[in-house]
Amino acid sequence: MSKTSLTERPAAAERAKASEPQLRDRQSERDHRQLRIDKVGVRKLRFPIQVRDKAHAVQNTVATIGMFVDLPEEFKGTHMSRFIEALNAHGEVIHVENIADILQSLQKRLHARTAHIEIEFPFFRVKAAPVTGKEAVLDYLARFDAAACGEEMDFVLTVKAHVTTLCPCSKAIARYGAHNQRGEVTVQIRSRRVVWIEDLIDLIEESGSSELYALLKREDEKAVTERAYENPVFVEDLVRNVALKLKAHPEITWWKVEAENQESIHNHNAYACIEMS
């Protein structure tokens, strides 16, 4: 039996590789339906990120990410693996300041004119109870929506926080108290300069009947309950209170505020919305 020399083995491997059938790139094939796609990509990808905060300079959290590009009508599909490559090319942790670089990378890798990224994540703050001062961590929801079209970039910050709302009507007509509920407030902004997530949270929490806390002892609970009773707000009051603060902010150029009360005496929610005109 003849033996293959060491010098012959690489040549044999090259010949075997050359004889293999070429992998077909179906995504790059032509499509004849003449319909462009506005956004195509990946969604619900979990990834570690770092977010700047006022208290500790940076906060580590985990985001749910979506990335998309436009697809011209002549192409059948996009290359999904390139989205993951673009994200991981910036390291194991995504910084907020890298968003523009990621969008440009998506445009380049996928030969796209427009690229979009959505990053949603829990944001944490340590809050002290109003009387005892006992501290505990409270979570909020934040989101970055960024899009690049050619050289232009758009960025929207969304912050979602909860407050207590006490019904003014119920207080006015009831002898023994008033019904209250948890109100969810969503604020979206565009701004000239960076606006802190914490500042938007403060703005929201100042607009309800009372803010929420993760830890309350009896004396704290008494204070929160009485504060809410002394400061009743409808869902309409809530969005107007927030809107006035957004209008007065010198760096905010566009805003939208939504409020939804998870009603405690109805089987439906109360909702209100104001958007900057």
**What pLDDT, on the 0 to 100 scale, is given for residue 83?**
94
Domains 31-121 and 129-277 share a fold: yes
Q: Return the closest-CA partner of residue 121 out of 41, 66, 191.
A: 66
d(CA 39, CA 42): 10
CATH for 31-121, among 3.40.50.1400, 3.40.50.2000, 3.10.270.10, 3.30.70.3040?
Answer: 3.10.270.10
Q: For 129-277, give the CATH class.
A: alpha beta
Residue ranges per structural domain of the chain = 31-121, 129-277
Judge whether residue 28 has pLDDT over 90: no
Q: Return the closest-CA partner of residue 160 out of 146, 181, 140.
A: 140
With both helix axes pointing from N to C terminus, report the angle between 235-248 and 197-205 in degrees, rounded to the nearest 10: 140
pLDDT tens for each residue of 61-95: 999 999 999 988 777 778 899 999 999 998 778 87
**What pLDDT, on the 0 to 100 scale, is given for residue 79?**
85
Contact between 164 and 246 under an 8 Å Cβ cutoff? The reply is: no
Pick from 8-12, 173-177, 261-265: least confident: 8-12
Locus of tokens 């690229």: 115
Q: What's the whole-model pTM score?
A: 0.86
**What pLDDT, on the 0 to 100 scale, is given for residue 5?**
59
pLDDT tens for each residue of 165-209: 999 999 999 999 899 999 999 999 999 998 999 999 999 999 999
Locus of tokens 């969503």: 186
Residue 158 phi, psi (nearest 5): -120, 135
Instruction: Round the average pLDDT of the chain to a whole number and report it.
Output: 90
Question: With pLDDT > 70 as the criterion, what percentage of the chain qualifies?
Answer: 89
d(CA 88, CA 250): 36
